[in-house]
Amino acid sequence: MSDKKHDLEEVITEDVSRAMREDVGSGDLTALLIPDSAHGHACVIARKEGVIAGIEWFERCFDELDPDCEIFWHTGDGKHVAAGVQFCEISGSARALLTAERAALNFLQTLSAVATKTRLFVDAVAGTQARIFDTRKTLPGLRRAQKYAVQVGGGYNHRIGLFDGILIKENHIVAAGGVKAALQAASALVQHQAPRDTMIEIEVETLEQLREALDCGATLILLDNMSPAQMADAVSIVAASGWQGVELEASGGVTLQSVRAIAETGVQRISVGGLTKDVKALDLSMRFSMH
């Protein structure tokens, strides 16, 4: 059985190692201007308010260069910080602090941006039964990290990649020969090749396709680019069908302005690619001083 904590530690190690190789390469030439024995102190300040995420990635960047550095947090992942607040202090080798600064902030700013945006969507649908999900529209190489940040922000993860879930989209339906044929093939795949708990979801673009998917026993159905009125009709169709355990997922062009109306149609899931795709880094800065 997979150990999620161990899996996350592996992800952090890989992410940070890749980032440090990319930024530091054969060595930080500018840091050589500072005596090797020099000790420094730094603090991180939020220039804009937001939800913090990515603390372990941030810490690992400094630990890679100075295992003896000390980091003290006035906050934690999932916590809101106000603009102008100093929320982290670091003490250690001056060279290490200056060399790791950019990679560490890149992780913290990006993941905090994802968590902050996710929290906005989660708050927008509060009081409804809808849950906010991410997608595979992530920054290359940072998928696991961004999906972690979505969870920190109160959202839920869709499949990690193509390997751990079946999502039958329009082109798959055409290639397979229709909704029924595609669902039958997916069921056979899970019976004989994929793990038995593999997710099977099918995308529909019309209410007619929805009825066909229900008749074929689909229990997770993605409503692609439907209007709120069509989604409400879809919810009614599912309720009238008598099928138990069917979940509907709204997807396509979901914005912070439209998400509440979508949630109020009665769908159980709303997937938002913009949580991880269209993010603007949370404005954070690190101030350094010598001891």
Q: Tell me the CB-side half-sphere exposure of residue 131, using CA atoms within 13 A.
A: 13
SS3 146: helix
Number of helical (H) and strand (E) elements in the chain, helices listed first: 10, 12
Query: How many C-beta neighbours within 10 Å does residue 76 have?
Result: 11
Q: What is the dihedral of CA 291, 66, 55, 254, to 10 degrees?
A: 110
Q: Which of 66, 203, 249, 269 is catalytic?
A: 203
Look up 169 and say whether it is catalytic: yes
In sequence order, the 6+-apart residues with CB closer than 8 A to the CB of 192 are none
The answer to whether 110 and 142 have CB atoms below 8 angstroms apart is yes
CA angle 117, 98, 90 (to 5 degrees): 70
Angle between helices 94-124 and 55-65 (to 10 degrees): 170
What's the DSSP call for residue 86?
A: E
CB atoms within 10 A of CB 139: 13
Residue with tokens 């010598």: 290
Q: How far apart are CA 88 and CA 112, in angstroms?
A: 14
- With left for phi above 0 and alpha for psi between -120 and 50, is residue 54 left, alpha or beta? left
102 is catalytic: yes
Which listed residue (137, 180, 260, 277) is catalytic?
137
Q: Which of 48, 169, 211, 277 is catalytic?
A: 169
- Which residue out of 102, 211, 260, 277 is catalytically annotated? 102
Catalytic residue among 205, 224, 247, 283: 224
Which residues are known catalytic residues? 102, 137, 169, 203, 224
